[in-house]
Amino acid sequence: MPELPDVETFKRYFDSTALHQRINDVEVRNSRILSGISARKLKTALRANSFRSTCRQGKYLFARTDGGVWLALHFGMTGHLKYFKNLEKDEPYTRLLISFDNRFHLAYVCQRLLGRVTLTRSVEQFIESKNLGPDALDIDFDTLRNALARSKASIKSTLMNQARLAGIGNLYADEILFQSGIHPMTRSKQLDGANVEKIHHNVRKVLQMAIRRQADPRALPQSYLLPHRGRDGECPRCGGIIRHMKISGRTAYFCQTCQQATPGRRRA
């Protein structure tokens, strides 16, 4: 599923391709991606306008038109953007196609139809309506410490809770905890200040590195967990076998040697 580094990469791609281009046409190819809006209303709001700016909150991308409305995009598990000129290069799972006066097109591609597209007049109100926490790249130490102290869940689950902090999913939660040397089943509220400081530092470190590597986990440094993440993978620090377990329905990968249990860890 696209996480914060993926969506930040999409944002930069959008900025470098689709901004300041007059929209000539809007084609909704599958209305299942629409949330709280009709295809007709979407077309009316976008057509003859241009995208002026973008912003991102967690896993959501917002693009503001010169008409004052924001296009809001969530990418589900398989979503991405594609900007191209020749319609013969269109992808089979394009669900929304925005065509510009310069004869280029922006496709919202979403194979499994789990992404969502809508409009909003206010990004702030949209964020509030979705109960999104602070963006993971922007959260300060005190806010993170308070969020963890209020959580009864494991640290793995808390990092993935979009109401606590927005943008982290399964993959990067594993990497942040590996870099911090913290077992994924450790209770969030039992973490001391030193461990919270490690997590705060590594949230930024890991996400920024992933953005620099175009959100490709395989391109991360070999000292990271993700290039080795998988069954029978070897820990890049100690050479031990990377273990896995289910936490809140998601598979967590970790090194049981380098990520020692801390007081308050739940039993596996």
Which domains does the chain show, CATH number per domain? 4-129 (3.20.190.10), 141-254 (1.10.8.50)
pLDDT for res 260 = 82
Q: What is the mean pLDDT of residues 112-134?
A: 98
Tens of pLDDT, residues 138-166: 999 999 999 999 999 999 999 999 999 99
Tens of pLDDT, residues 95-122: 999 999 999 999 999 999 999 999 999 9
pLDDT for res 1 = 84
Q: Across all residues in the chain, what is the average pLDDT? A: 96
For residues 138-170, one letter each, b for 16 or more C-beta atoms within 10 angstroms of the residue's C-beta and e for the rest, the string is: ebeeeebbebbeebebbbbbbbbbbebbbbbbb
The rounded Cα 43 to chain-centroid distance in angstroms is 26
pLDDT for res 267 = 40
pLDDT at 229 exceeding the cut of 90: yes
